[in-house]
Amino acid sequence: MLKTAVILAGGKGTRLRPLTYTLPKPLIPIGNIPIIEYILKVIEKTSSLEKVIIVVKYLGDKIRSYLNGIRDNFSFDILIPHVNSLDTADAVRKVSNFIDCDFFVLMGDILTNMNLNDFNIFHDAKGGMGTIALKEVENPLDFGVVLIDNESQIKLFLEKPRSIELYFMRMLHSKSKIKYYYENLVNTGFYAFKYRILDILDDNLELMDWGRHVFPFLVENGYKLFGWDIGEYYWADIGRPISYLNTTYEILDTPPPLLSPKGEQKDGIWLENSLDFLDDVVLIPPVVIGKNTFLGKNTVIGPYTVIGSNCKVIDNSKVSGSIILNNVSIGRDTRVIRSIIGNNVVIRDGVIIEEYSVIGDNCIIEDKNIIRKNTLLKPYTVYKSPQFLGVKINE
Segment 142-159 mean pLDDT: 72
Q: 346 pLDDT exceeds 70?
A: yes
Segment 360-369 mean pLDDT: 93
Segment 339-361 mean pLDDT: 96
With a pLDDT cut of 90, the percent of the chain lying above it is 77
What does the pLDDT read at residue 155?
81
In angstroms, rounded to a whole number, what is the distance separating the alpha carbons of residues 303 and 150?
45
Domains of the chain, earliest start first: 4-241 (3.90.550.10), 262-389 (2.160.10.10)
Q: 381 pLDDT exceeds 60?
A: yes
What is the SS3 assignment for 250-319? HHHHCCCCCCCCCCEEECCEEECCCCEECCCCEECCCEEECCCCEECCCCEECCCEEECCCCEECCCCEE
The 10s digit of each residue's pLDDT in 30-50 is: 999 999 999 999 999 999 999
The 10s digit of each residue's pLDDT in 235-254 is: 998 989 999 999 999 999 99
What does the pLDDT read at residue 202?
95
Pairing relationship of beta strands 276-277 and 4-9 according to DSSP bridges: unpaired
Binned at pLDDT 50, 70 and 90, residue 152 comes out as confident
Neighbours of 328 (CB within 10 A): 25
The 10s digit of each residue's pLDDT in 185-222 is: 788 999 999 999 999 999 999 999 998 899 989 989 99
The whole-model pTM stands at: 0.89
Q: Where are the beta strands (DSSP E) in 130-219?
A: 130-136, 145-149, 154-158, 178-179, 185-193
H-helix or E-strand spanning residue 117: helix 116-126
Closest CA to 268 of 291, 294, 288: 288
Segment 348-360 mean pLDDT: 95
**CB neighbours of 56 closer than 8 A, spacing ≥ 6?**
9, 10, 24, 63, 64, 80, 81, 82, 83
Contact 116, 42 (CB under 8 A): yes
With a pLDDT cut of 70, the percent of the chain lying above it is 87
The 10s digit of each residue's pLDDT in 78-104 is: 999 999 999 999 999 999 999 999 999
What does the pLDDT read at residue 227?
93
